[in-house]
């Protein structure tokens, strides 16, 4: 397996000054085919990203990105092709000195021994580490795309009849399902 991502566009943050820089990247036919294979898609017909990159403070660089994609997946029930349009926005930060954000690589010794700072829903995520003074915008876009792809695509008209191990509240051995019993109790009350 190659170390180079299928869709790669390196952003050199060493050259990034105080101004914001806008990047527009679009995956080629070959890159889309390779990503479709990686993500088990029937096809990836379009992949475009518009990214704003700027320095926040010191070596901390911030990315605001919009990803637009058109793809085709196989329905998990019928096997029919499903078309999907994705339009997603995300943000990430990168830093050359990301290691202090992650703390020690050593795992806690006992159960419940968390020694790091208090983390709640408002705590920002630590920045991703830079490699060679920058980051791969193409791979970052591909990672976000992978999060947007439906892992269980299903056609609206897909029918699950015949795919269940329960038939009329009974399993293959004729035993009544506990859920069927609960449904009966619910109807009585």
144-161 residue pLDDT tens: 999 999 999 988 887 766
| Global pTM exceeds 0.75 | no
- What is the arithmetic mean of pLDDT over 1-15? 85
Residue 168 pLDDT: 57
87-100 residue pLDDT tens: 999 999 999 886 55
Q: For residue 142, name the pLDDT band (cuts at 50, 70, 90).
A: very high
Residue 169 pLDDT: 57
> Is the model's pLDDT at 163 over the cut of 60?
no
> Is the model's pLDDT at 1 over the cut of 50?
no
Q: Vertex 106, ends 116 and 110: CA angle to 5°? A: 75
Residue 104 pLDDT: 47
SS (H, E, C) the chain: CCCCCCCCCEEEHHHCCCCCEEEEEECCHHHHHHHHHHCCCCEEEEEEEEEEEEEEECCEEEEEEEEEEEEEEECCCCCCEEEEEEEEEEEEEEECCCHHHHCCCCCCCCCCCCCCCCCCCCCCCCCEECECCEEEHHHHHHHHHHHHCCCCCCCCCCCCCCCCCCECCECCCCCECHHHHHHHHHHHC
- Residue linked to tokens 């660089």: 61
């Amino acid at each position: 397996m190659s170390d180079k991502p299928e869709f790669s566009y390196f952003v050199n943050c060493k050259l990034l000054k105080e101004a914001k820089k806008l990047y527009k990247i679009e995956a080629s036919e070959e890159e889309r085919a390779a990503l479709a294979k990686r993500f088990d898609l029937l096809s990836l017909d379009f992949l475009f990203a518009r990214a704003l990159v700027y320095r926040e403070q010191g070596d901390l660089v911030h990315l605001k990105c919009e990803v637009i994609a058109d793809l085709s997946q196989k329905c998990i029930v019928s096997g029919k092709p499903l078309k999907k349009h994705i339009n997603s926005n995300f943000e990430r930060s990168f830093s050359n000195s990301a290691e202090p954000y992650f703390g020690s690589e050593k795992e806690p010794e006992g159960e419940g021994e968390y020694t790091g700072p208090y983390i709640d829903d408002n705590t920002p995520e630590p920045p991703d580490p830079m490699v060679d003074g920058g980051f791969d915008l193409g791979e970052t876009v591909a990672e976000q795309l992978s999060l947007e792809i439906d892992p269980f695509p299903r056609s609206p008209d897909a029918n699950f009849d015949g795919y269940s191990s329960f038939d009329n509240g009974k399993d293959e051995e004729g035993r009544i399902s506990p859920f069927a019993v609960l449904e009966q109790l619910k109807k009585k009350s």
